[in-house]
Amino acid sequence: MAVGTELVVCTTCRLPGADPQAPRDGARLSDALTAHGVAHRRQECLSACANGCAVVFRGTGRWTYVQGRIDPDLHLNDLISMYHAFAATPDGIVPWRTRPEVIRKNTIARIPPFDFQDQES
């Protein structure tokens, strides 16, 4: 994990239409990240349940991104590359065109850092 950033994974998410008897997809995502040596934090429910699997990128002085629709069987490499790109920025803003498609299409929210500059149109 990069200094000053962290990846938070909801461990209780299920993908849309998932078998309720099957292991939680969010827990599987967390386990897959661990197997790939990606440090992260585990949290039950991020209140984005309809958009599972949900994760958060956050860090000191950076924008926070809430991401949904991460399928551990399809998007693990996209998630890892996006997290590394996020951690490499000073402000958390990864150029839109360089974000993996699943990230571009499934950002639930972006939240400014604590001491951001107001922007008005």
Residues near ligand FES (CB under 6 A): 10, 12-13, 26, 45-49, 52, 54
| Smallest gap from residue 72 Cβ to ligand FES (A) | 13
| Smallest gap from residue 5 Cβ to ligand FES (A) | 20
**C-beta of 66 vs 82, nearer to ligand FES:** 66
**C-beta of 39 vs 45, nearer to ligand FES:** 45
Please, what is the Cα angle at 80 between 76 and 85, to 5 degrees?
Answer: 145
Phi and psi at residue 101, to the nearest 5° = -55, -45
Rounded (10°) angle between helices 25-35 and 76-88: 60
Helices assigned H by DSSP within the chain: 25-35, 76-88, 101-105
Q: What is the β-pairing status of strands 5-10 and 41-43?
A: parallel
**C-beta of 59 vs 68, nearer to ligand FES:** 68
With CA atoms as reference, report the closest residue to 59 among 117, 116, 2.
Answer: 2
| Smallest gap from residue 36 Cβ to ligand FES (A) | 20
**C-beta of 64 vs 89, nearer to ligand FES:** 64
